[in-house]
Structure 1
């Protein structure tokens, strides 16, 4: 058992292990602590998102949805091997699980696998995993076909090792969601090691000192290019654009309105909202420091009709992304 790591200690531990960390605005105070305890912490749970695309997956995990508010994890690990921090504290990720598994993790008393779970969220004997586990959502469709790149798996190993090292835990403190709840099957798919094999890799890393050697590559600049293009397209259409990767937006819509893009489409750290506030003064009739839903929608309409402003937004958002990539 241990007290949760502070935000600074978590970031330091991850970077010492060679993890490429992306900190999203607000993550240090973004949590569900008002709904239940956070700690003592006992381990790490690895998940898959059942989604594709870094930007939309991070946005979903930061915000959540009506039935399950965010944060949905502490960090998102996309296919490029970066780690996007979206929450610090209690997060809606593990849900209810088996008390026998929790005991085995706390005591690190099992051999290759913890006992099979027989409980799940809402079942009579379930215990609250959100109080006890760090959670990392890894971008994967979860259909058993979507591949796991080596950089992504390596990032999972490094993230888990960083947290275990910081707490003095062994690799037996790391479990898959499927090992916690009998309702779950994550993580799975080609390229993802079995959980015993993943723990073996984590254990091998813990056997030596923390090192940043063979650092996973930083996020691809493809997102930067796509973002500039998408923003331009957005404001040159009828304010409706199909979602970038086929996923619903955080409100459950299959198509993203301009408002959805402004709120959720790029960096789920309020960067785009800050950008909109700055640009709002350039559009007649919209000058509020805080923009409500109606004002955001009105702004989108005005931006669509304002020559050059769509390009200005695209350039500024692209620069924000470039700054993030350079961190």
Structure 2
């Protein structure tokens, strides 16, 4: 792969623009090959990140290793517009720039969940035996969700391996009316917009301690949604953090909050609101205050909720949450109609 020097220099300059994984959380197990593919640079350039101060370690053979979440943040904060994280965000947020009616109209999807079991470039021989995979099932009883073609899903929250299913999703163009909920919402979204807490990739182990992540100045959709649910619950509201998939050609783990109003749960999506409120030209995300406002109660037809009311992980290797790269085996496409 031929890479312009400016691209490589920009990657190194991203170090320091985000919060790196805390030492007790970080897992330095990502090799140079995987790092190079994720950041779309030559392998020889990855060492520059270590020289620039990105935390790293060396394995028993003396090979350089990084934390995968730190690498994703290098890609997200470098500003080239060409790394895998940047391209992913651009693609997944394209629907926010479409006509409002397209956010809520009924849509049929073919969803495939078959998580990757090794990181890009790795082999089973490199990493030992392949892990036993368990996946969280769709919440087909959730509002606006319908199984198509007479499909059936196993009981319980988790199933072995993957699955493929056709689902219909119908959004809801609605808003939360309670001004006290709006006040809490504005606190969380405003903190992200002011960059007092950075929107970035957060390791799964730290997502489970979302208050610590927020205090460290980092948040992703899981952290922000859990924090919002906490603050609403503390004020006496029935609120919960949900998690599922943002559907597209490749899978995206996404989380949002729901608050009970007028006899039903309504969606609150602080990260979607933050990203679309400000826009991000470097990452190819259009500014859309209208979409940001729709995140305050609206339910979108690209979000498939899974069976969890705590925003628990969607994929497990044995009993541990799977690494972020496992999502590479998740995808969806609009269902074809005859």
Q: Report if TM-score (shorter chain) is over 0.5.
A: no
User: TM-score when scaled to structure 2?
Assistant: 0.22
Q: Which has the higher helix share?
A: 1
User: TM-score when scaled to structure 1?
Assistant: 0.23
